[in-house]
Amino acid sequence: MTTSLTLGEIAQQFALSLVLTDPADAARPITGVATLEAAGLGQISFFTNPRYRQAFEQTRAAAVVVASADSVACPVPALVSREPYADFARIAALFEPRETVVPGIHASAVIDPTAEVDASASIGPHCTVGPRSRIGAGAQIGPGCVIGADCVVGERSVLVARVTLVLRVRLGRRVLIHPGAVLGADGFGLAPSGGRWIKVPQLGGVVIGDDCEIGANSCIDRGALGDTVLEEDVRVDNLVQIAHNCEIGAHSALAGCVGIAGSTKLGRHVMVAGASGIAGHLSIPDRTVIQAMSMVTHTIHEPGAYASGSPLMDNRSWKRNMARLRHLDELYKRVVQLEKQLAATTAIPTDDGSPDR
């Protein structure tokens, strides 16, 4: 955690232009970050949303990270950025409290004799590391984590607490997994036979690319034959289900409570908003956006924004619309019949006696 930088030093560190009304402001110590409303003389804020323009114009922050077009209207020193929110996030990381991690294996941890743990890794209390698993340099395994057989935790990856890697899970470098997540559990593979279910063995694994983040209590199932794959820099929110043999392209983001059925492929830079469901064996192209509470039931061929959720309305209107919806099929049939009748009455005989509209 850094607390001793000045405003000028922060601007220099992140290659931001600093617009000042008083040159002395460059030497002002910066102690943290805050919202436009709450920020004080030692704190930096940001402005990107015009809904907060009033708060922007009245802020008392030490400086505000803004786009070039907004720097003129900034009432305090401005840090001019092409990506204000992203640069604010980088600045905020300077002030994020972090515990000092001591390398080593806690006395209560259980490590299989065939496992390999790098000397610079940290294994917390009540953890287990299974046969033939490898823990990379600088990795942090928090309290209560369970790492099964044949798993790999890449360099500087962090399992916060109570994370379970069941079997054949391979994490890349700098992967962050939040509490309660389960990776590598059985995929939901079932074959019907004689009115009963036959369990299909899940013989694959899970591969997570570099710089991915998996939210709390999310589940990523291992593949039936091949692997379930998340490419680099995929961000998964809390309570997300990714079924067996799915492939998620690099730099994609899945919000809370998203569910993706087996063998579906998402391209790169795909965004799926909260509580959306995606059926199995589908493909979604690069840079597609799925709006909240949508149900994707077919392959999408063209990138763009898609939605199917019902917007909120007052209860009386919703009940009235639902009552009308029950008669939709009947109404459709009546419209088709009326169109046929209208077509028949507007037909004009031609010289040879045939109808001509």
**Tens digit of pLDDT at every position of the chain (357 positions):** 455 799 999 999 999 999 998 999 999 999 999 999 999 999 999 999 999 999 999 999 999 999 999 999 999 999 999 999 999 999 999 999 888 889 999 999 999 999 999 999 999 999 999 999 999 999 999 999 999 999 999 999 999 999 999 999 999 999 999 999 999 999 999 999 999 999 999 999 999 999 999 999 999 999 999 999 999 999 999 999 999 999 999 999 999 999 999 999 999 999 999 999 999 999 999 999 999 999 999 999 999 999 998 888 999 999 999 999 999 999 999 999 999 999 988 866 666 656 555
Fold of 7-95: 3.40.1390
Q: For the whole model, what pTM was predicted?
A: 0.89
pLDDT on residue 310: 83
pLDDT on residue 348: 61
The answer to whether 113 and 133 are in contact (CB under 8 A) is no
Q: How far apart, in whole angstroms, are the C-alpha atoms of residue 152 and residue 117?
A: 10
Q: Which residue has the tokens 């040879």?
A: 352
Which residue, among 155, 71, 144, 162, has the nearest Cα to 118 in the 3D structure?
Answer: 155
Q: How many other C-beta atoms can be found within 10 angstroms of the C-beta atom of residue 79?
A: 26
User: For the purposes of burial, counting CB atoms within 10 Å of the CB of 334, is it exposed (0-12), middle (13-18) or buried (19 or more)?
Assistant: exposed
pLDDT on residue 101: 87
Q: Which CATH class is domain 163-306?
A: mainly beta
Identify any residues that bridge with 268 across adjacent strands, giving them in sequence order.
none
* SS3 of residue 333 by DSSP: helix
pLDDT on residue 21: 85
pLDDT on residue 349: 62
pLDDT on residue 208: 98
* Known catalytic membership, residue 244: yes
Among the listed residues 126, 244, 251, 281, the single catalytic one is 244
pLDDT on residue 355: 58
User: Could you tell me the sign of the dihedral formed by the alpha carbons of 348, 354, 355, 357, in that order?
Assistant: negative
Q: How many other C-beta atoms can be found within 10 angstroms of the C-beta atom of residue 147?
A: 30
pLDDT on residue 356: 58
Domain with CATH 3.40.1390.10 in the chain: 7-95
Domain with CATH 2.160.10.10 in the chain: 163-306
Kind of pairing between the strands at 196-199 and 190-193: antiparallel
pLDDT on residue 350: 60
